[in-house]
Amino acid sequence: MALIKKTQPAPKQAPDRSMMITGDITRAYLDSILVEERLIGAELADIRTVIFGREYSSPVMMPAFSHLPSYAEGRYTGLVEYSIAAKELNILNWIGMSDNETYGTIALTGADTVRIIKPYADHTKILDRIAFAEAHDAVAVGMDIDHTFGRNGGYDVVIGEQMGPQSKDDLKEYIASTKLPFIIKGVLSLRDAAACAELGVGGIVVSHHHGSMPYALPPLMILPEIVKELEGTGIEIFADCGMDTGSDVFKAVALGAKAVSVGRAMLPALQEGGTEGVKAKITQMNNELIRMLSFTGFRTPGEADATVLWKDGKPMA
């Protein structure tokens, strides 16, 4: 009797719960920070914010998303729709992984945009994308170094593109190749913050990329220490991950962030309402931020500090 080899379907890969847990940890930390009121003499706050020498209507920024589709027939891609929203709201736009043609389309919206480039193994691709962004009037360029490693014990592969390690010498080359501020996204330690200062970057994003590494520190937990580490360097410090409300943004700026990117919180509004949906969501967050600043006696986001924040029954500053 001949043996018949039956083809078995490949086993399904278990969902990566660690990413969900990281998000839950970040959300729990945000919610654990409480805020005191300071109302005597308080006035309505003004949330205009200067980033890299340019004035914007708010410290709320768009996220460095990549590869968003068109959500309905006849609509632009999600990347274009939220870039138009950024332009109309006068806030800073960010774009993630994209080829030059896609970035050129984003540039046509007229939004002030930061281009974040993946840590490609092919460094010529990085330099090419930096040069293209500069030629198309980007505000800044940068790299999300937290996308170097994948989930299968190797360097990440993103949409067929191989990622690779980035040494200090590599980063120095990218920084030297452009007149634009260079941003390192994915800083979550004093060690990397100090290295960024040594490299002469223009900005950093305190971020865990929504859980690229399991059980990562919530960005706002380490943000105050990073702010102290970089004091006097002139490096602009941003934050993201789990920012859902204007109250979250308030806590981030009070702990030292210049501005905050909002990603997954705006996705439902983007999917359902496109540009107008995003504008409504960001406007709501702006109004919440104005309320929080006003209730705590701060007139601007730049004035806010941690003296109004409490955690575990104790002042944070």
Annotated catalytic sites, by residue?
209
- Give the position of tokens 């080829």: 99
Q: Please provide residue 28's backbone torsions phi and psi, each rounded to the nearest 5 degrees.
A: -65, -40
**Residue 303's CB: how many other CB atoms inside 10 A?**
13
Q: Please provide residue 225's backbone torsions phi and psi, each rounded to the nearest 5 degrees.
A: -70, -35
Contacts of 313 (CB under 8 A, 6+ apart): none
**Residue 96's CB: how many other CB atoms inside 10 A?**
21
- Give the position of tokens 């730049």: 302
Question: Residue 171: what residue type?
Answer: L
What is the sign of the dihedral through the CA atoms of 177, 113, 231 and 260? Answer: negative
- The whole-angstrom separation of Cα 236 and Cα 7 is 56
- The whole-angstrom separation of Cα 63 and Cα 133 is 17
- Give the position of tokens 């308030």: 250
Angle at 186 between CA 177 and CA 131, to 5 degrees: 20
What's the helix, strand, coil split of the chain in %, to 5?
40, 20, 40
51: part of which helix (H) or strand (E)?
Answer: strand 49-51
* Residue spans of alpha helices (H) in the chain: 17-32, 78-89, 100-108, 123-135, 168-176, 190-199, 219-229, 246-254, 267-295
